[in-house]
Every structure is written in C-alpha cells, then in structure tokens.
Chain A
Amino acid sequence: MAASMCSKLKLACKWKKSKPSLHILRLCTQHLCSANEEVAEHSQEIVIPDRIERGPTDILRALASTVARDQTAAHYKYHDDPFFIPTSNIAKRSYALSKESGRKAAHWISNQYPELFEGINPADPQIPVLMPDNPKYKHEGATEEAVLERLDYGKPLVAYQTYQDCLAAGVKLSADARDRLLAILCYYNSQDPPLTEFIEENWYKRARERGVRKSWKDQGPADQLFQDMGDERTCTSYKLIIRGMVKYYQVEKAYALFREMQDKGFEVDLSTYNAILSIANFLREGNEQKLQLAKDLMLQMETQDIRPDLTTINAVLELLSKFGNWKLARGQSLSVLAEMKRLGIEPSLGSYYFVLMTWCKDKGPISTILHDIMKHIDNKDLTIRHLSDLNFFVAAMDVCHSHLCDMRLAYRVHRLVHRGNNILLLGDSFKQSTYYMHFFRLLCATESVEKLFEYYEDLVPNVYTPEPSVMMDVIRNLDANSALEHLPRVWSDMIMFDMTQREMLLTELLHVMGREKLDDTQLMERFGFIAWDIKTRIDAKLSDRTYKSPTQWTGEMVGDVIVVCLRAAMFEQAWEMLEALERQEHNILGFPSERVMQELVEACIEHADSRRAVKCITVSSEIGYPETPNFARQVACKLKLTDSERAQMIDIVGSDALESASV
C-alpha cells in the first residue's frame, strides 16, 4: 500500500514540479517508513479470525437495522403517494385490507385455474409458495403413504378423507401415522391450518379475539379418529387429544380423558400437565380448590420427576390472576415467582402480565408492583416466549393510566417498548391502538401542552390515529391549559381522522371556542371559519339522505356557532344560524343560551339593524328568557325604531318596560 501511495505522489510531483509537493512527498515517505517499522514490531502473529457462519437473512437483517422509522412517512405497506396515504383508522384498515384482498384474488385465480399457469413458470426448482395450492400427489388410493403425503402437504382434511377411504377398504394404518393425523387435527380443531401469508388480515382479525368459550368440534374428525382407535390408543394419542380439547376449551372431556389416561397407567408428560393446569380454573369451584388442584398437579409432576417449564409457571400465574379480589392471590403469585427463580426459569413478559393482573384489579386496592416489574425488565431486549407476552405492554400502559395515573412510569414503559425490536411484542392493531390510547389519555391528563404535542407530532397519524375519546381529551387539555391557539390544528386533524360527524366532539369543540372572547382577533377569525366549516359539514350530511346517522343540531351548538361567528365579525353568518334555528324549530333540541342572545342583540345594535334586533327579542321572549325586557330596553335606547317595530316590541315585552327605558 505504501508503495502505491508513493507512486501516486511521485506521479503528482511529475505533474506539478513544485517545491511544496516534494516536501509533502518527503514527509509522507518518512511517515510511511516509521509506520512500517511499527508494523514490523507487532506483526509477529497475525490472527485470521474464524469464518462466521451467516444465515440466509443475516445480511438483510443487518441492513434492515440501519433503517430507522421516518415519522413523516406512512407505513411501508401503504402506497407511497399522497393521495393514497390513509390517516383515519377506517381508511388505514380499508387500504391495507384492499391490498390484501388483491393478493387473495390472485391466489384464488391461481388455485381455481391452475392450468392457465402450466408451462409458463420458468422457476427451476419450483417455488412451492408461488404454485397453485392443489399439489399433485404421488400416492393415490387408500394407503398409508397417501395419508402421510397429504399430511406433509399440510392438508389434514384431505388426509382424513384418505384415512376414511383406508378404513372402508380395510387398510390398517400404523399407530404412528394415525397419531400424526390426530396431532394436526387436534391442533387446528379439525380444520385446515390458517394461512399465515395474509398478514394484514391477521393484523386486523386479532382485534376480535375470541373470549373463553368452547369451540372444540364435538364428534368432529379428531373425535372420530380417536374413537376409531378403540383399544389401540397409545399414550401419544391421549396426550394429543387432551391438548387439543384444552386448546379449544372442551374442558370436561379433556379432564375425563386425563383421568382415564392415568387410570390406564400411561405416563403423562410435561405439555399435557401444562394443558390441564391451564384449565384448572374451570375444573373446580372456589379459589382455594382451584389452587389446590394446581398444586396437586404440580406435586404429581414432581413425583414423576417432570421438570416444569415457563408454560407451567405461566399457567399457574394465569390461574391466580383469574381469582378476582381474592386476598391470598397476591402473595401466592409472589411465591410462584420465587419458585420460578429457584428453578432457574426466566420469567417472560407474559408471567409479569399475569402478576400485574393479579395485583392491579379494577376494584381492588392500588398497587405499585409495576415499578418493581419494570426494574427487572428495563433496558432489556425482549423476544416472544409465550403467547401471553403480547398482552403485557397494553396492560402495563393501562395500569399506568387507569390504575396509577403515573406519567413517569408510563414514560419508562414507553421507552422499553421502543427499544430495539421490543415493539414487536406490542401486539396487533387493536392492542397497539389501545396502548397508544392509554398513553395519550394519560399525557392529556397529566402533561403540559408542549409535552403532549411532542408525542403527538411523533406518533400521530402515521403510527396511531387517535380515537374520538382521545381527541376529546386533547381538546380538554388545550382548554384547561388555555392553549386554544392549537385548536385549528386539532380541527384539521379531526377532518383528516374522519371525525366531523362525532356529535360529542363537535359540541365540545364549539363549546370551548365559544366560551370567551380572546384578544387575539386573528385567532377569533379562525375560530369563526372553523365554526362555519362545522356548520356546512353538518348541513351537508343532514341533506344527504344516504348518510345513515348524521349529527343533529342542538340549541347549544347553534348558540356556540352564533357566538363564535359574532366574535369573528361574521355577523351575516351568525344571523343565518339564527334563521336556521327558527326554520327548523322542530328538529333542533334546546335553545341558545341567554348569553348568546345578549351578544346577538348587542351585535344588532352595533350594526344599527333594528329589524334584526326586534327579531332577536322576539326569539328571546319565545324562549322565555327573563332578561328579554332588558334587551328591549337596550334596543329602544340605542336604536331608532320605526313605529311598527316599536309596536311589535310593546307587544312582546309590554309598554312598561319600554317606557322605563325611554324615561
């Protein structure tokens, strides 16, 4: 290297035969020489590092880790075109699912008409996931090989069909083949395995998580197969059917089979014990009895020398978390954790989730155990080890918000979530938005406007679109902190999030805008535009007959629009609102407040519009405000009235009121 550098420098010297470059050359060569000497001293042993085996995706992973989230960009799954970037929750959902449904349509075509693609697929070797999903089986007919082949292709129902053909033809399958068939039937509840390819669908589908209810197919293929086995049931087949039943909450039968299995002298294994432990909640009445059953099961495991694992411990913790406000549950959960430590089992997030559920009950005493949990998991990179792990972050944020109302703790949780790849454990769309909902509501309740908007700018709308309740809290936070200058921004976000027909939100927004007159005339003008925008949007939906549930005007809203318009020097618009109020008397519930009427009367006086002033007084007296005579007096004092107008006024408030004014 030194040589090449020297030659380059020499070259440079040749071109520019000047003194300075020669000087540089001399310096460089000196430097290089000294460097060479140093190298010679230390270069006795050169250790060539061992080759590191790389997995097929390691380079991609390294590259992916260099890409940070761009807070101004929509998610990668959306088309990168401003017109197609969704902001509201409903748009996000429908765009993502539309894309997926295109993919599904392609799948359907390829499965329905595989012949269209024959011979034009250049891939060699073929790529199975891109091929039509109707494999050409090598083995046909009723044989064991045929059943196994269909199992290899992940087609339990076709395999079951072939198995039945075998039965009919009198072909006997080996115990192993039958157990394999039983395993897949039990795991997927006698259905084909769900397609994992459709990520978006799963992302949104998990929102509607099935609660605890029995979904096991009684007398389905799995049950049938198990019955067909008769006396030839093996230990494995018992294990499989029990686990399947537990997975789909057929608890009574599962427990009965568990007892039968023990009676027959089969050895129960770890996973099956875990399964029975996880349904202990349904097998006994009363908390003590349930816990006793769990302990008995664990003692049985111990006598059989089966070592528990994370699932075992989590099952017990889950049981404890279901005990309502049972006093002993808290202490017991700590005992289980201690046992866990004694056995050297590292708790997963799910274990902490169950502990949190045990300690922080809705109606129970306040517990700060989340602080202690955070102490153990702070600054850790977490991976999924148990399905319940996905519940932890949502529950933790819920506890921070509803249970402790502790913003500092919430920041800790939030930091942990955004560390490394921990965000993967936040769960699906529903869990994610619940998490952010709690986070933002807590921010609104405890933090300043600046802090709130710091997070708002970061996460909204590309990561999270606030629900109406959160927007409500944001408006209230702005109101409580007298930061009304942010309201126009909130309104434009509400338009983006498709919340322009949320009656509660609109009422609140109008109410906050109309509460008091501020000195900032520019802001008041913007409020006026917003109020008028709200009005036009409501009216547009009201006149659109196809729209199902438009917002209905209330007197309060009309009053707020009038007031805001008046302050924005939009007298004509304010007047239009009053006329609308009169026109649709029967559709509008309630009336504008007396304060509104007063401001309106004052505005009329200011505009020297006696006709409208009289009109105001008419409306005010129809509503029956006691201040009406006062209004009349003001009008009479400050405006020139025609005779007919005067007569009208006397009609309304009586001559006495006006008399006293003129005197």
Chain B
Amino acid sequence: MSAPFTRCVLQSKFNLIDVIQANRVFQAVVVNHTTRERHVHATTRAFSSKDGEDKKYSSDPSTNQESKGKHDGKKSKSDLADLLGSMKVTTNTDGTGASEQKPSKKLKLAHPPPKTKAARMEAGVFTEKKHEPSNLKDVKDWILEPQLLSAVRKVAESLPGDTQNTESELITKLRDHSAATAGAKSDVNLSSLFVGMKIDREAPKRRSRQPSRDDVTDRPDAERRPGFGRSLVPTRPTRKLYPKVEERKEIDLFGASPLNIFKVPETPEERVSEEWDIWEEYNNRALKDAVTYSPANAFVEQIQWTECGKLWPFPIDNQIGLEEEENVGFHEHVFLDHLLADFPKRGPVRHFMELVINGLSKNPYMTVAEKREHVDWFRRYFEAKEEVIHSAIEVA
C-alpha cells in the first residue's frame, strides 16, 4: 500500500534534485561565460560550497563583470541577458534537465571549462591538475566523454616522450578523480538538499490516507522521556533501509589487535589481596543493593528477612547469638563449689554462700563469668564487713 506513495515521494524528490541541478548548470554556464577562463575556480568553489550558493551566484557574476571591465562588457552583457531569458523559459516550462535537451547556440557558449582546460593543458600548465577534480566533476555532468579523450590525446601529443604512455597516465588519473568526486559530490548534494525538504512535502498528505506500517514507525515520538542517557531517535527510517542480518558484516569482538600495554600474567588469578580495603567492601555492598528489588514471592521475602537478621538462619540452632558462652561447658555452670574454697568452712556466711551457689547453679540467664563475679562480690563484701560480722556473732 505504501510503495506507490514512497515511489511518488522519491520521484518528486528526484525531480526537485534535477531541477536544482539544472539550475546549477545554468548558473555555472552563466558565470563561466561572463567571467571567461580566469574565473573558473570561482565557479568550482561555488559548486563545492554547501550553502549560500544562491548568494554566490547572484553576487559573483556581477562583481566579476565589473572588475573585468570594458573589454568585452557590452557584448557579453547582452549575451547574458539573452541567455538568462531563454533559460527562465526553459526551466519553467520544461522542469527537468532542460539544459541537456536544448543545446541551443547560446548554450554552446557555455562549455568553456573543458575548452579552457584543454587549452591550458595544451599550453603545458600542469599545475592545473589541482583544479581537476572540481572541474571534472562539472565536466562529467554535461560533457561527452569523447571530447575529453580527444583533449587528452592532444595534450599527450604535444608533450615530449612516449605519447601513448602519457595519454594512459592522464586518463587513469582523470578516471580516479572522476570516481572520487562523483561519490563525494552526490553525498554533499543530497544531504544539503534534503534539509527542510521532506517534511513540507509530506505533512499535508498524512491525514488523508490510510497510515501504513511504515508510517507508524515514522512518526515522531509522542513524548520523550527525559533523563535517559541516550535521547530517543525521534524519527526512524523504514525497516527496509536497515541492513538485513544476512547482509551484515560480522565483527570479531575480540579479534582486533590488542593495546599491548599490560603484560600477560604468567600465573592466572593470583590477585594481590590489598592490605585493607574498606572501599571495596562498600562497593560490593552497593552492587548488592543495586540488584535488590522488592521480593517476587514469599520465599524471596524470607530470604531477605534472613539476610538482614530478622529470621533465624538455617540450620536452626537455639544457641544462636550466645557466642560468648560458646566454649563453656555445662559443668562450669552447675558445679560452683570450688568458688567457696576460701570462704569460712562453717558458720552463717558459709551457710549463706552455699545457698547463693545453689541458686546460681540453677540460673540459666547468667554467664559463668557473671556467676564468678557475683560470688567475688560477696567475698569482697564479707571481707569488708568481717569485723561487724564477728562482733555480731559474739553478741549473739
């Protein structure tokens, strides 16, 4: 469904290109005609410049003409006027490529570049070669190949040495140039031409027809999402333009020539552990947090709870968290008689302390160290109060 339309758009584009190229040819002709041989490179510059062509064309001829002065002013002026008049008509009526089709008498005047080149070559000006690419580029557009060949032959004949050899050298050189410039030229022209052209032509048609699939892909994004590093490409060409998988060139990711900066380690993986790097620890934590999302099911939730210490870790161990008593045996908790070795052998203090020991041996909530400390506290207490106790006993 979209194919005819695309074709039609393309066609119109090419038409436009043709028109513009034809116009350029005309302009070039005009300029060449008025400025004669010396100003050839003014045109070539104008050709190679991407923008502001119109300005150049409009300004160049006039200024050049002025500078050129009186010699052939009148005649060329009238020639120019005629030429412009005829051109205007041809472009308007005939649209594309009018110049080629109508080699009128005046247009024949417009062929100086090859002639000048030939002439110059004949004169043996070899510095001319610098201008060749741009000249040839123009030449190729409207000059027949035979003319060029004959020019080359003439040059070759006029030069000393092996004529045939010179001729073939010149031709290969020219061919190289023409190939290179043709490629470069088409790039430049297309990109500069397409600027601002496409949208104007397509926009009004959009609504009236059924949007095709190409169209769907071609619309600008309704809303751009900010913040994302790469901005989204607003318009995409159709899928057909992309290289197919079969056509693509494989890239060997690891096959390029390496930087060769580092030595290859002889023993793989003997990482020198750094003495103390809390930084790496923080980094690892950040990495882990970066992939911690809210749990997808209850098991994952329990994993998270276990990891942050809210759940008992497996295997279940009811001694967990009691690390300080890890290596203390049961007997140390229960048999505490040896702690009373330096207490009095009998009497109320002994009696009291036996009761204390009895109680401590049944207490699961204190550590052994705490129990010892407890008994020690009583020892110190009774030592301090020894006299008071003795006097009390005596009184009794």
A residues near B (Cβ < 8 Å) are 54, 56-61, 63-64, 67, 69, 75-77, 96, 124-125, 127-130, 180, 183-184, 187, 196-197, 199-200, 202-203, 207-209, 236, 239-240, 243, 269-271, 295, 298-299, 301-302, 307-308, 331, 334-344, 355, 357, 362, 366, 368-369, 371-373, 376, 384-387, 390-391, 394-395, 398, 402-406, 408-409, 424-425, 428, 430, 434, 437, 444-446, 467-469, 472-473, 476-477, 479-481, 504, 515
Contact = CB atoms under 8 A, between A and B. Distances in A.
22 contacts: A64-B300, A76-B296, A125-B320, A130-B310, A187-B279, A196-B292, A197-B308, A334-B255, A335-B257, A337-B254, A338-B259, A339-B259, A341-B254, A371-B248, A372-B252, A385-B287, A402-B233, A403-B233, A406-B245, A445-B213, A476-B215, A477-B213
B190 to A, nearest CB: 15
B96 to A, nearest CB: 32
B344 interface: no
A438 to B, nearest CB: 8
A60 B306 contact: yes
Contacts of A129: 308-310
A69 B296 contact: yes
B299 A271 contact: no
A334 B253 contact: yes
B238 to A, nearest CB: 8
B274 interface: yes
A405 B294 contact: no
B321 interface: yes
B293 interface: yes
A336, A372, A390, A467 — which one has the most chain B CB atoms within 10 A of its CB? A372
Contacts of B210: 479-480, 515
Interface stretch (B146-154, B224-232, B330-338): B224-232
B232 A398 contact: yes
Interface string B296-324: 11111111001111100111000011100
Contacts of A340: 254
A336 B259 contact: yes
Nearest to A360: B230
Given A308-B262, A387-B287, A373 B309 contact: no
Contacts of B265: 307, 343-344
Given A96-B294, A295-B259, A338-B255, A476 B233 contact: no
Contacts of A409: 245
Contacts of A336: 259
A88 to B, nearest CB: 16
B211 A56 contact: no
A330 to B, nearest CB: 9
B223 A467 contact: yes
B239 interface: yes
Contacts of B308: 129, 197
A477 B216 contact: yes
Contacts of B278: 180, 183-184
Contacts of A402: 232-233, 236
Contact of B216 (A269, A362, A444): A444
Contacts of A355: 253
Contacts of B274: 269-271
A398 B278 CA distance: 37
B216, B231, B260, B287 — which one has the most chain A CB atoms within 10 A of its CB? B216
A154 to B, nearest CB: 11
B392 interface: no
Contacts of A208: 227
B314 A56 contact: yes
Nearest to B221: A469
A513 to B, nearest CB: 14
B313 A472 contact: no
Contacts of A295: 259, 261
A398 B289 CA distance: 25
A366 B216 contact: no
A476 B259 contact: no
A117 B262 CA distance: 60
Given A339-B259, A404-B242, A445-B217, 10 more contacts: A56-B314, A57-B306, A75-B296, A340-B254, A368-B251, A369-B251, A371-B245, A398-B232, A430-B228, A445-B216
B250 interface: yes
A61 B303 contact: yes
Nearest to A271: B279
B230 A395 contact: yes
B116 interface: no
Q: Which 3 A-B pairs have the closest CB atoms?
A: A125-B321, A56-B313, A334-B256
Contacts of A64: 296-297, 299-300, 303
A366 B248 CA distance: 10
A476 B254 contact: no
Given A67-B299, A369-B251, A434-B228, A271 B277 contact: yes
Given A76-B298, A207-B227, A368 B248 contact: yes
A564 to B, nearest CB: 17
A480 B211 contact: yes
Nearest to B271: A307
B212 interface: yes
A330 B294 CA distance: 39
Interface in B204-219: 210-213, 215-217, 219
Interface residues of B, number: 82
Contacts of A59: 314
Contact of B223 (A128, A469, A479): A469
A207 B225 CA distance: 11
Given A344-B268, A504-B222, A271 B294 contact: no
B287 A339 contact: no
Contacts of A60: 299-300, 302-303, 306, 314
B245 to A, nearest CB: 7
Given A57-B303, A76-B298, A430-B227, A302 B251 contact: no
A425 B291 contact: yes
Contacts of A385: 287
B295 interface: yes
A472 B222 contact: yes
A591 B298 CA distance: 57
Contacts of B260: 339
B21 to A, nearest CB: 26
Contacts of B314: 54, 56-60
Contacts of B322: 125
B366 interface: no
B280 interface: yes
A473 B216 contact: yes
A337 B276 CA distance: 30
Contacts of B264: 342-344
Contacts of B279: 183, 187, 239-240, 243, 271
Nearest to A375: B253
B243 interface: yes
Interface string B99-115: 00000000000000000
A16 B271 CA distance: 74
Contacts of B230: 357, 362, 395, 398
A473 B315 CA distance: 53
Interface string B42-80: 000000000000000000000000000000000000000
B8 interface: no
Nearest to B312: A56
B24 to A, nearest CB: 28
Interface in B175-223: 210-213, 215-217, 219, 221-223
Nearest to B244: A406
A11 to B, nearest CB: 39
A480 B263 contact: no
B216 A128 contact: no
A202 B290 CA distance: 9
A187 B278 CA distance: 10
Contacts of B293: 199, 203, 424, 428
A390 B231 contact: no
B282 interface: yes
A295 B216 CA distance: 46
